[in-house]
Amino acid sequence: MTVRALRPEGPAWERVSQALRGQASGEQPVCAYVYDLGALVERVEAVRAALPQRCELYYAVKANGHAAVLSTLARYVEGFEVASLGEIDKALAAGASRLAFSGPAKTDAQLTGALRAGLGLLNVESMHELRRVGLIGARLGVRVPVALRVNRRAGGLAGALRMAGTATQFGVDETLLAEALELARALPAVALRGFHLHAASNNLDAAAHTSFVADSVAWCLRQAARHRIDLDVIDVGGGIGVAYTGGEGFDLPGFAAGLAIATDQLPPGVRLVFELGRFLVAEAGWYAAEVLDLKCTHGRHFAVLRGGTHHFRLPAAWGYSHPFAVLPVEAWRYPFVRPQVRAMCVDAVGELCTPRDVLARQVWVERLRIGDILVFPLAGAYGWEISHHDFLSHPHPAQLVLDRQPSRQPDRQPGWP
Ligand SMILES: *Cc1c(COP(=O)(O)O)cnc(C)c1O
């Protein structure tokens, strides 16, 4: 089946393409990330509206740490999930009211910094970390609210990446649960609040996600009863996915409907926490790069871009072709004929000196000219953040933020609760 270049429509595309056309009249070829805050607000409002009352929504900063993205989201979420002091600084600068701190390799300096920042919840990932939290908390004279991250035997979740229900560096193995809980109880500076069960990345199956949450809730309630834990938090992490190459997206209404079953089981006072990254920000970001050259070698056509995987590594990292749209640009800089291809498949490749620098393969374009811009949607999550920006030392892309006032005020103000 031939994959065709996208033909996006709608207000967000109007805003983004207009901003990029504005860039096209500059001296330098276009290369930019565009973040559309209107689209971002729409998405987070939809998620908020879908989640039952008993749920709290955190944003996982690692998906996109742009200051404008963070300060916009800070108005709509209960807190930020962070994994380094750098992310803590960004989250606090953006006005985050609460933090949840995760990560399998926290240093003493990070733990100390996080506790000084007055974080809301520390997701502890090992026995050794638990002991160090006990020590550092005692030194600082604080009682640290802790959720124990557990890698369960069962109860995993399929997706592009799995963190639990299989061998990974995350969390305490379930077989050590009793021992870990006993240790937590023995440490005066540790206040065990619950469990953290983030299990997967980019899961598109809403029914599976519902079952995962329901099963996680049931498991936490069982463990709390068995080990006499005063349960406050069940943190089910993130992992809701985005259909990058088309097809059915994650069924948010279906998921929300199923969630009611899980939240009905929750005893009073127990919070169900989601830490979403990708699902909140992917749609709000676009990566755009101008076609610098067109060529054919060994019978295959290439569109060579001012940009590439050092800006947008996701398709290379995950081994798929990221869809793109062609944004035609009429301006032409040179006094000779403008090269073009018509009605054929091209590979979209970058400016790096490696054949791995490929964003998309074999995409059908009706017409593509040098000087046109390829625009890759769904680039707002794990795009710029995960890329090796300085490989080959090309200039970084512009970062354009399209500000649009949200249609209405968020129903939860900063500082909640
Ligand atoms: C990365 C991460 C998330 C967010 O994951 P998404 O797949 O982007 O939703 C949430 N919690 C933890 C602990 C993470 O490491």
**pLDDT above 50 (res 332):** yes
Q: Ligand 1 centre and the CA of 200: distance in Å? A: 8
Band (405; pLDDT cuts 50, 70, 90): low
Q: Report domain extents, the chain.
A: 3-36+283-402, 38-282
Ligand 1 centroid from CA 61, angstroms: 9
Residue with tokens 């799995």: 162
Encoded tokens for 189: 């500076």
Nearest Cα residue to atom 7 of ligand 1: 239
Q: Is the model's pLDDT at 267 over the cut of 60?
A: yes
Residues linked to residue 400 through DSSP beta bridges, in sequence order: 34
270-306 residue pLDDT tens: 999 999 999 999 999 999 999 999 999 999 999 999 9
Three-state SS at 133 = helix
At 166, the pLDDT band (50, 70, 90 cuts) reads confident
* Residue 371 pLDDT > 50: yes
The predicted model scores a pTM of 0.94
CA dist., res. 179 & res. 200, Å (int) = 25
Q: How far is the CA of 60 from the centre of ligand 1 (A)?
A: 6
Q: 73, 234, 240, 275: which to mutate for ligand 1, most atoms within 8 A of CB?
A: 275
pLDDT tier at 261, thresholds 50, 70, 90: confident
Residue 159: pLDDT band (50, 70, 90) is confident
Mutual angle of helices 177-186 and 127-140, in 10-degree steps: 10
Distance 242 CA to ligand 1 centre (A): 13
Residues 66-106 pLDDT 10s: 999 999 999 999 999 999 999 999 999 999 989 999 999 99
Contacts of 316 (CB under 8 A, 6+ apart): 309, 356, 357, 358, 359
**Number of other CB atoms surrounding residue 101 within 10 Å:** 27
Strand partners, 55: 272
C-beta of residue 162 within 8 angstroms of C-beta of residue 156: yes
Mean pLDDT of 199-219: 93
- Burial category of 410 from C-beta neighbours within 10 Å (exposed 0-12, middle 13-18, buried 19 and up): middle
Q: Which tokens in the block code for residue 131?
A: 């002991």
Query: Catalytic residues, which ones?
Result: 353
3-36+283-402 CATH, one of 2.40.128.630, 3.30.2350.10, 2.40.37.10, 3.30.565.10: 2.40.37.10
Q: What does the pLDDT read at residue 162? A: 80
- Residues 79/60, Cβ–Cβ less than 8 Å: no
Domain 38-282 fold = TIM Barrel (3.20.20)
**Please, are residues 215 and 252 in contact by the beta-carbon 8 Å criterion?**
no
Please determine, for residue 222, whether its predicted confidence score (pLDDT) is greater than 90.
Answer: yes
Residue nearest ligand 1's atom 8 by CA:
277
Cα 142 from Cα 124, distance rounded (Å) = 16
Q: How confident is the model at residue 413 (pLDDT cuts 50, 70, 90)?
A: very low
- Mean per-residue pLDDT for 14-37? 95
Q: Is the pLDDT of residue 407 over 60?
A: no
Structure tokens at 149: 């991250």
Give CA–CA dist 280/286, Å, rounded: 14
pLDDT digits (tens, 9 = 90+) for 120-157: 899 999 999 999 999 999 999 999 999 999 998 887 78
Give Cα separations from 196 to 28, 275, 376 (angstroms): 47, 10, 34
Ligand 1, residues 56, 61, 62: which to mutate, most atoms within 8 A of Cβ?
Answer: 62
Length of the chain: 417
pLDDT above 70 covers a percentage of the chain that reads 97
* All residues at 6 or more sequence positions from 352 whose CB lies less than 8 Å from its CB, including other chains: 308, 309, 310, 391, 392
